[in-house]
Amino acid sequence: MAAVPAAKDKEATTGLIAVFTGNGKGKTTAALGLAFRALGHGQRVCIIQFIKGSWQYGELEAARMFKPLLDFHVMGRGFTWKSDDLEKDKAAAREAWQFTVQTIRDNKHELVILDELTYLAHYQIINEEDMLAVLREKPAAMHIAITGRHASAALIELADLVTEMREIKHPFHNGIKAQKGMEF
């Protein structure tokens, strides 16, 4: 029979790894929901975006209201399928990954969101085993949320929580462009 943890251990934080993946919309939105939840408890949050670039979108504007608890880093050059230079995109992604490794090791945040990280491993911009090693060695109480399509079997196995977003219907297929406040 397993030992019952002491009462003080019941309050200890176990840092979880959450993955939001799949072809449907809502992966970043789910992670941002976690950010708002953590901020509501006075926890420090760091969001690192690997793909999104300088395009103005609502969550970036809202992030300014949550200083100093929220650190928001847009480190990509924009959507890679519209890239003018894939090598620059890859270099920016690698730089963002190095920043991420240091952020995790510095252990100054209760929640770190790695938005669109899955693409870096999927397209072999960073070595997946290196990525998994950093996640395995994260501080014990730190929560990490990872978003993006193509989450690997190894990442899914490592994670404590995995949600797959599945597209059933999307307005884009009816010629409706992204709407302010709904998609950006």
Query: What does each C-alpha distance from 71 to 95, 112, 118, 162 come to in angstroms?
Result: 17, 9, 21, 24
- For the entire predicted model, the pTM comes to 0.88
Let me know if residue 9 belongs to a domain: no
Residue range 28-61, pLDDT digits in tens: 999 999 999 999 999 999 999 998 766 667 787 8
Q: Cα separation of 5 and 7, whole Å?
A: 6
Let me know if residue 125 belongs to a domain: yes
**Residue 157 belongs to what domain range?**
14-139+151-166
CATH of the domain at 115: 3.40.50.300
| Active-site residue, 136 included | no
Q: Which of 13, 36, 55, 79 is catalytic?
A: 79
| Active-site residue, 137 included | no
| Active-site residue, 28 included | yes
How many domains does the chain divide into? 1
Let me know if residue 5 belongs to a domain: no
Residue range 92-136, pLDDT digits in tens: 999 999 999 999 999 999 999 999 999 999 999 999 999 999 999
Q: So what's the pLDDT on residue 62?
A: 85
Helix segments in the chain, DSSP class H: 7-10, 27-40, 58-63, 86-106, 118-122, 128-136, 153-158
Q: Which of 50, 97, 116, 118 is catalytic?
A: 116
Let me know if residue 158 belongs to a domain: yes
Q: Which of 8, 14, 61, 81 is catalytic?
A: 81
| Active-site residue, 29 included | yes
Q: Which of 21, 28, 100, 103 is catalytic?
A: 28
The answer to whether residues 173 and 46 touch, using CB atoms and an 8 Å cutoff, is no
Let me know if residue 59 belongs to a domain: yes
**Comparison of pLDDT for 26 and 61, the residue scoring more:** 26
Query: What does each C-alpha distance from 160 to 1, 14, 17, 19, 62 come to in angstroms?
Result: 24, 11, 5, 8, 28
Let me know if residue 61 belongs to a domain: yes
Let me know if residue 40 belongs to a domain: yes
Let me know if residue 52 belongs to a domain: yes
Residue range 66-75, pLDDT digits in tens: 999 999 999 9
Q: Which of 20, 21, 27, 110 is catalytic?
A: 27
The single-letter code of the amino acid at 119 is Y
| Active-site residue, 81 included | yes
Q: Which of 37, 88, 105, 108 is catalytic?
A: 37
Q: So what's the pLDDT on residue 44?
A: 98
| Active-site residue, 79 included | yes
